[in-house]
A and B are shown apart, each in its own frame.
Chain A
């Protein structure tokens, strides 16, 4: 639909130039009027889906299923030792991801906060806060702060989906943190209170 409209517009342009140069003017005015709601919806549909950082959600990777057997926790997991600390007493990196921002907070196993940083604090403002690059840069700076405090082995708990989801975890690893496990704690309810009304596109 959109393509055919574009082709028609191009054709009319070339004809207009061929016949006389003055007729180029009405073209621009009609093009502005042609922009309807339907076309905008179609354009949005034709755009590629926004990357939320949840890679592997749809695609099936068979190899990873075959090779790893003990990737899930069991009854002994809380007492398993990682770098001299039992799993249940490892410090926790909480990452809260939304479409507009990414917030990192490092807590000990009781939940006492030690470091809180977000993409906004890090200097990314407005729409840039919600990008994967911002999340990765923030992750690296937070991780270096944690390493300065002597915290290396951590568990990661991710909450929410957004562009920063994957890159935040990757950034932590790039900075040299030793990630033991990744947990998802996205709040999901099957009978939630009535959410806000839908956005108008």
Chain B
């Protein structure tokens, strides 16, 4: 994966706060799945492990989708002002 150096995956440090910049960078790398892929490709993933992982991820995403729908259903609002008293 080649990108323009110092343009991609780059975060500026503001007010000398290195830790915050690192956190932002790490979070982006984690959410994009780059670190996961890095860890996964350190060692060969056998076909049975690949299958199991893919099946697990499928089940997990189906569960998450259903659960999100349920939560949205429970939290549904039918008022003109859905959160009275809140700004």
Contacts and interface: CB of A to CB of B under 8 A. Distances in A.
Interface of A: 54-61, 64-65, 68, 70-73, 77-78, 87-88, 155, 157, 161, 166, 169-170, 173, 178-190, 192, 194-199
A188 B42 contact: no
Contacts, number: 123
B54 interface: no
28 contacts: A54-B30, A55-B26, A56-B22, A56-B24, A56-B26, A57-B30, A57-B35, A59-B27, A60-B27, A61-B20, A64-B24, A68-B20, A70-B12, A71-B21, A73-B6, A73-B10, A87-B6, A157-B5, A157-B6, A161-B39, A169-B22, A179-B16, A182-B13, A183-B9, A184-B9, A188-B41, A189-B37, A199-B43
Interface in B7-34: 7, 9-14, 16, 18-27, 29-30, 34
B44 A196 contact: yes
Contacts of B22: 55-56, 166, 169, 182
B83 interface: no
B38 interface: yes
Q: Place the interface of chain B in its size category.
A: 20 to 34
Nearest to A170: B18
Given A54-B35, A64-B20, 8 more contacts: A55-B19, A64-B23, A70-B12, A169-B22, A181-B11, A184-B9, A195-B41, A196-B44
Nearest to B3: A185
A186 B6 CA distance: 13
